[in-house]
Amino acid sequence: MHPRLLPLLLGALAFAAPALAQAQDDAPIAYPDDDTQEDAPRKLPRRSEDPTADYDRMKDQSEAEGDFEHLANSDDPNKGFAGELVLGTMLLDSSRGRFADPTFSAGVRFTWEYGRILDKEPLRETLWADVRWMTAGASDGTQLINDHFRVHYLSIAPAYEFVFGEAKTFGLFGQIGGGFAYQSTSLNIGDQVTPITGLKPLLQYGVGFRGRPRLSEKLCLSFRLELMRFRRGYLDDTFLGGSLGTAF
């Protein structure tokens, strides 16, 4: 063999090995069969059937409470105020040993549903308070000797109501509060008049039925039927009646 051919053959073999390896590396990569991959079921993330589940899960976390906006105030256009005319029968505690002295009673009442400011949905319709003024009077005697008695009740009383119905416009309530009673008596003997006045602490408590059917978007009819006791000093007066007004 020619002495120069041997180095040429060795050089050709040295370059052929990397080229062969590169040719093997350029072979296409095998992928799984597409049909087999499509037939495999895909697992999707599960969602709870209860739309409130996420909120129930997160509301236990103190930092998550602020992430949810309560829309109760925007859904209900009412402000929670009402004014009513009160009429009924007041059974005045009798000073003559009888069961009671029945007499006509009238007054006005203003209501504020303060549960709306607490931002708690169950308390919006159940907590409210009244400012009430009522009066009742009686007279007895003869043409020569007689007396005239009148008492004014002024009280502030919060209440808790058990609402029912889809619209939550009706409910049964219990109420307790306090104030004062101003009473005046005039004893007439002929032309001589002797006035007697006094102020006594007042305790008010009772139960009743309350309704607020809607008249328009922002106005409701407000009414009640109630049985209420007024304890002035050591005397107990019982009111049985109702009221009618509007709420907005």
- The answer to whether 204 and 178 are in contact (CB under 8 A) is yes
Total structural domains within the chain: 1
The β-bridge partners of 110 are: 83, 131
Per the structure, the complete domain to which residue 174 belongs is given by 82-247
Q: Is residue 14 part of a domain?
A: no
Q: Which of 160, 181, 186, 180 is nearest to 172 (CA)?
A: 160
Q: Is residue 235 part of a domain?
A: yes
Residue 107 pLDDT:
98
Residue 64 pLDDT:
47
Residue 10 pLDDT:
58
Q: Is residue 74 part of a domain?
A: no
Q: Is residue 227 part of a domain?
A: yes
Q: Is residue 241 part of a domain?
A: yes
Q: Tell me, what CATH number does 179's domain have?
A: 2.40.160.20
Residue 75 pLDDT:
60
Q: What is the pTM of this model?
A: 0.68
Measured at the alpha carbon of residue 241, what is the angle toward residues 97 and 235, in degrees to the nearest 5?
A: 30
Residue 217 pLDDT:
84
Q: From CA 245, how far away is CA 108, in angstroms rounded?
A: 10
Q: Is residue 38 part of a domain?
A: no
Q: Is residue 106 part of a domain?
A: yes
Rounded average pLDDT per 10-residue block, the chain, 248 residues: 58 53 53 54 56 53 50 66 97 79 96 88 89 93 87 97 89 97 91 90 98 91 97 94 96
Residue 104 pLDDT:
96
